[in-house]
């Protein structure tokens, strides 16, 4: 006997008429045979609607129109601006009586001088293909988020102290952002007009995708 092995990474979202797609409810063999064998005229355009739900928010992307077999792109992004280069700390030439050494202060700490922009949020590329009574949606959904700051290392951006190493004159720190990117391949084989839910454990969250004829 030859057994067919299905890779664990391939998830087929095949739904029936019910709007509850959690756990992929079963579909009767007769109903599947009827839908898969349909020769109905395919729509010339389809409307894709996506709703993203995370821990603290629910956001619906503007609907987009897709033609069968043509790739479409969905973006829900916000700009994150962060420094990439810095002006070194500068010591004042004005001597202060409180100084306990030949050093001088106050100090102008390291300051940003160049910046970059990173787009954070969701980006998806999808194609829609009618197949019998079903609609196949294939693509890739990526998500990038800000995950906090970490201090950059180096003596020139370390705390500056007085001559006796007792008083911190300037913390002189440089903090840089950390970003986390995740990608989720998408494959949906279901009925038009029915919402289909994909888990996004890396975010964590879910995306609900609905595809319906737009003719």
How many CB atoms within 10 Å of residue 128?
26
Asked if 175 contacts 150 with a C-beta cutoff of 8 angstroms, the reply is: yes
State yes or no: pLDDT of 6 exceeds 60.
no
pTM of the model: 0.71
**Of the candidates 125, 123, 118, 127, the residue with the CA atom closest to the CA atom of residue 142:** 123
**pLDDT tens-digit map of 18-29:** 444 445 667 788
Residue ranges covered by each domain of the chain:
13-213
Instruction: Give the CA distances from residue 149 to residues 172, 175, 178, 203, in Å, rounded to whole numbers and listed in that order.
Output: 15, 6, 6, 18
User: Under a CB-based contact definition with an 8 Å cutoff, are residues 207 and 52 in contact?
Assistant: yes
Q: If you average pLDDT over residues 188-203, what whole number do you get?
A: 90
pLDDT band at residue 105 under the 50/70/90 scheme: low
3-state SS, residue 29: helix
Cα 93 to Cα 97, 108, 192: the distances in Å are 13, 11, 73
Q: Decide: helix, strand or coil at residue 1.
A: coil
Is residue 22 within 8 Å of residue 197, measured between CB atoms?
yes
DSSP assignments along 107-166, one per residue: EE--EEEEEEEEEEEEEEEEEEEEETTEEEEEEEEEEEEEEEEEEPP-GGGSPEE-TTS-
pLDDT digits (tens, 9 = 90+) for 119-160: 999 999 999 999 888 899 999 999 999 999 999 999 999 998
Q: What values do phi and psi take at 192, rounded to 5?
A: -65, 145
Residue 177 has pLDDT above 70, yes or no: yes
pLDDT at position 12 is: 37
Measured CA to CA, the distance from residue 185 to residue 24 in angstroms comes to 18
Q: Output the pLDDT for position 11.
A: 34
Virtual CA dihedral for 89, 92, 95, 99, nearest 10 degrees?
Answer: -20
- DSSP label of 69: T
């Amino acid at each position: 006997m030859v057994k067919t092995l299905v890779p664990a990474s391939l998830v087929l979202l095949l739904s029936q008429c019910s709007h509850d797609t959690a756990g992929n409810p079963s579909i009767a063999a007769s109903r599947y045979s009827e839908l898969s064998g349909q020769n109905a005229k395919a729509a010339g355009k389809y409307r894709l609607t996506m709703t993203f739900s995370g821990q603290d928010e629910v956001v619906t992307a503007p609907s987009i129109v897709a033609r069968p077999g043509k790739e479409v792109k969905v973006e829900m992004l916000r700009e994150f601006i962060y420094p990439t280069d810095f002006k070194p700390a500068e010591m004042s030439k004005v001597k202060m009586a409180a100084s306990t050494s030949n050093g001088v202060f106050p100090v102008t700490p390291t300051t940003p001088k160049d910046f970059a922009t990173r787009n954070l949020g969701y980006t998806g590329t999808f194609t829609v293909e009618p197949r019998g009574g079903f609609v196949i949606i294939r693509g890739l959904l990526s998500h990038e988020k800000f995950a906090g700051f970490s201090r950059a290392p180096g003596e020139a951006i370390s705390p500056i102290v007085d001559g006796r190493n007792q008083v911190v004159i300037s913390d002189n720190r440089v903090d840089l952002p950390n970003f986390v990117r995740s990608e989720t391949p998408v494959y949906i084989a279901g009925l038009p007009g029915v919402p289909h839910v994909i888990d996004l454990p890396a975010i964590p969250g879910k995306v609900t995708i609905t595809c319906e004829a737009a003719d």
